[in-house]
Amino acid sequence: MYSAVQPSGNLTIGNFTGAIRNWVRMQNDFDCFYAIADMHAITVRQDPALLRRRTIELAALYLACGLDPEKCTLYVQSQVSAHAELGWILNTIAYVGEMERMTQFKDKSQKHADNINMGLMDYPVLMAADILLYQADYVPVGIDQKQHVEITRDLAIRFNHRYGDTFRVPEPYILKEGAKIMSLQDPMKKMSKSDENLNASVFLADDRDTVIRKFKRAVTDSDSEIRISDEKPGITNLLNIYAAFKGCTLQDAEREFQGSGYGDFKLAVGETVADALAPVQEKQKRLLADKAYLNDVLKSGAENAFRAARRTLSKVCRKIGFYRGE
């Protein structure tokens, strides 16, 4: 199992329900590697001090959400140089055309029109390197990253075809509920860490009043029926959030609120989310007070990751003909 989150902003409940929540569930049954993708984060401009702070905060958040360093490997991507090395090699089998077609590249190029750097276009290749280094079978992500896992599969298959069996071909692991949380202000748009409208996203760090206020203000429709429908994207999104946090299905959530008014419904969603976030925030705060412990976790995580990554990288170097002595 392999996945990562970028330390590029305050995490939203989408990052939690689409990714981290599912990571926690898998750690007992799989050999899991979970990274903090700081090398991906710098494809858009980052303030260096802030990037450093967000990295350690994200490490604390991983633990606070229930990831156990005894059961899985938690590490910072840039501390394992094999990612950059394999990324370079994979660049030579990745085509410019296919990278230009990636939805995230197109979105980010629009959003950061003054900084369309090579890294932004190369982003999926580095992500493929992340995943393939660890010979992952599954990649737990939200729907927005599915395309990147698919290109990872394409690159793995292409490499295996050209140089002989080297990489395992991974599959995305996506749970229905919570895999695509939409903005509370525009339910046709994905909820995102970097949305400028602060009311659009619920952050994992938001306090109870803020969470409840944001849900109260969530854009819905002028109708009054609570049901799942493409014509009711705001209500469907709230039902989805509720289901993801309650651990029930979307249909169960719909049944529960049949006949309720929008006001009561929004309050119930807000309270459910706030109740779930409070213990995570508390634990994250406690962990951040013990930097030595966090550094130890990341250090042994990076050592572990390096060992696993090096095995794959050596194999790759051999296959492509890099000289390592006769």
Active site residues: 108, 190, 193
Q: Within 24-53, which residues bind ligand TYM (CB under 6 A)?
A: 37, 40
Terminus-to-terminus CA distance in the chain, angstroms? 35
221 sits near ligand TYM (criterion: CB under 6 A):
no
191 sits near ligand TYM (criterion: CB under 6 A):
yes
Number of residues that bind ligand TYM (CB under 6 A): 26
129 sits near ligand TYM (criterion: CB under 6 A):
no
Report in angstroms how near the CB of residue 257 gets to ligand TYM at its nearest: 21
Residue 260 or 308 having the CB closest to ligand TYM: 308
Q: Are 191 and 201 in contact (CB under 8 A)?
A: yes
80 sits near ligand TYM (criterion: CB under 6 A):
no
Report in angstroms how near the CB of residue 317 gets to ligand TYM at its nearest: 22
22 sits near ligand TYM (criterion: CB under 6 A):
no
Report in angstroms how near the CB of residue 142 gets to ligand TYM at its nearest: 2
Residue in the block written with tokens 């229930």:
66
Q: Measure the CA–CA gap between 107 and 111, rounded to whole angstroms.
A: 6
Q: Measure the CA–CA gap between 33 and 316, rounded to whole angstroms.
A: 20
Residue 116 or 260 having the CB closest to ligand TYM: 116
205 half-sphere exposure, CB direction, 13 A CA radius: 12
Q: Are 151 and 106 in contact (CB under 8 A)?
A: no
Judged by CB under 6 A, the residue of 142, 187, 234, 270 near ligand TYM is 142
Q: Measure the CA–CA gap between 191 and 182, rounded to whole angstroms.
A: 5
4 sits near ligand TYM (criterion: CB under 6 A):
yes
Judged by CB under 6 A, the residue of 31, 85, 137, 144 near ligand TYM is 144
Sign of CA dihedral 206, 208, 213, 216: positive
Token pair belonging to 254: 């719909």
87 sits near ligand TYM (criterion: CB under 6 A):
no
Q: Measure the CA–CA gap between 245 and 269, rounded to whole angstroms.
A: 9
185 sits near ligand TYM (criterion: CB under 6 A):
no
Q: Measure the CA–CA gap between 213 and 274, rounded to whole angstroms.
A: 11
Which range of residues in 134-142, 246-254, 255-263, 286-294 is near ligand TYM by CB under 6 A?
A: 134-142
**Count of residues making up the chain:** 326
Token pair belonging to 210: 């803020």
Residue 69 or 142 having the CB closest to ligand TYM: 142
Q: Distances from the Cα of 290 to the Cαs of 34, 107, 304, in angstroms? A: 21, 38, 22
229 half-sphere exposure, CB direction, 13 A CA radius: 8
Residue 180 or 232 having the CB closest to ligand TYM: 180
Report in angstroms how near the CB of residue 178 gets to ligand TYM at its nearest: 6
Applying CB under 6 A, the residues found at the interface with ligand TYM are 2-6, 14-15, 17-19, 37, 40, 127, 130-131, 139, 141-142, 144-145, 148, 179-181, 190-191
